[in-house]
Amino acid sequence: MKKGTRFSFSRMINNAVPNFARDDPNDVDLPPGLADDLLRYQLSLPYPRYLDERSFWIAGIAQNKPYSTKVYKALVKAHIILPVPSCSISSSSAANSAGEPMTVNTAAIGKGFASQLAVISVHAQRKLVGMLFFWEEECTRWNLLDAEEREILRALDKNPGNVDLEVALEAVKMRKNLLPSQRAEGTANVTPGAGHKLPSYSDRQT
């Protein structure tokens, strides 16, 4: 029997950290204010899609900056997140060399997660899993908007000066910077449907 996404998510985190069963099963998502704070902070960085040593403190996962750094290093070591690129590499070069990568890999969260993140409490580990899924969704959303932007730019190459396309391009750029609380679409899960189907711009004419 097919199960819903939330059921699978709860089962996954309970398998990763069995003690989660004694925590509130619904207390996994970031509060709206912290989700906004995290994205606002990430947008201020040279590499916004990469969680860094302060991100987990901003999101309320770690109680202070030193613990946030420990969480960051543990996640990088476990190959759950990608390390922030070297400052010696320009952000444009990093993006253009191989496109924007998925910087979070929630598939790497396994039964060893609790011991890998023993530096924080079980409750914080649970919140961390929710944060990682949230950020994986954010990266997926960015990638969809990237694809939409590329399509508009290709259409503009064929129809230079098209006002509708230029407005659409500015709208995509604006949507990339929208905080979760400012969006029409939900942010709990990324599934095919409204808000994620790319419009077609290739047939627009001047």
**Is 108 among the domain residues?**
yes
Tell me if 147 is assigned to some domain: no
Region 178-198 average pLDDT: 58
The CA-CA-CA angle for residues 143, 182, 46, to 5°, reads 50
Is 21 in contact with 14 (CB distance < 8 Å)?
Answer: yes
In degrees rounded to 5, what are phi and psi of residue 100?
-85, 120
**pLDDT of 129 over the 60 cut:** yes
Q: Does 90 fall in a domain?
A: yes
pTM of the model: 0.75
The mean pLDDT value for 151-176 works out to 94
Residue 35 lies in a domain: yes
Any domain includes 112? yes
| Mean predicted confidence (pLDDT) in 29-47 | 93
- The Cα 153–Cα 203 span in angstroms is 13
Residue 97 within a domain: yes
CA 72 to chain centre: 15
Q: Does residue 169 sit within a domain?
A: no
What would the mean pLDDT of 107-129 be, rounded to a whole number? Answer: 94
Question: What's the sign of the alpha-carbon dihedral 54, 36, 195, 95?
Answer: negative
Q: Measure the CA–CA gap between 100 and 48, rounded to whole angstroms.
A: 11
Q: How many domains does the chain have?
A: 1
**Residue 39 Cα to chain centre, angstroms:** 9
Residue 95 lies in a domain: yes
- Domain enclosing residue 36, as ranges: 5-135
